[in-house]
Amino acid sequence: MTKTRTAIGGLFLAVMALTVGATASDTRAITGFDQKFQYAVTENNVPGAAYAIIQDGKVIAAKGYGTRALGADLPVTSDTVFRLASVSKTFSAELAAMMVAEGKFSFDDKLSKYVPNFHLKTPGHARKIRLDNILSHTTGLTPNAYDNMLEDGWSLEKIIPRFKRLKAVCGPGNCYGYQNIAYSFIGPVIEKTTGDSFKHLVETRIFTPLDMRDSSVGLEGYLSSANRAAPHVLTRSGWYRTSVKPNYYTVAPAAGINASIMDLAKWVRAQMGYNNKVLGADLLKTVTKKRIRTKRELRKRMWRPYVSDAYYGYGWRIYQIGGEDIILHGGGVSGFRSLIAYSKEHDIGLVMLMNAETRTIDKLGAEFWAEVTREPAASGRAISAR
pLDDT at 28: 82
220 and 133 in one domain? Answer: no
pLDDT, one tens digit per residue, over 96-151 is 999 999 999 999 999 999 999 999 999 999 999 999 999 999 999 999 999 999 99
Domain count, the chain: 2
pLDDT at 335: 97
105 and 46 in one domain? Answer: no
37 and 77 in one domain? Answer: yes
159 and 69 in one domain? Answer: no
Residue 202 lies in a domain: no
320 and 243 in one domain? Answer: yes
Residue 163 lies in a domain: yes
pLDDT at 22: 65
Q: What is the CATH number of the domain that holds 224?
A: 3.40.710.10
Among residues 194, 224, 241, which one ends one of the domains? 194
Among residues 139, 162, 194, which one ends one of the domains? 194
pLDDT at 362: 97
363 and 244 in one domain? Answer: yes
**pLDDT < 70 regions, the chain:** 1-22, 377-386
Range of the domain at 163: 93-194
365 and 264 in one domain? Answer: yes
Residue 105 lies in a domain: yes
179 and 238 in one domain? Answer: no
368 and 251 in one domain? Answer: yes
241 and 270 in one domain? Answer: yes
pLDDT, one tens digit per residue, over 228-249 is 999 999 999 999 999 999 999 9
pLDDT at 27: 83
Tell me the CA distances in angstroms from 83 to 168, 318, 350, one per residue in order. 31, 22, 17
Among residues 166, 194, 222, which one ends one of the domains? 194
Residue 206 lies in a domain: no
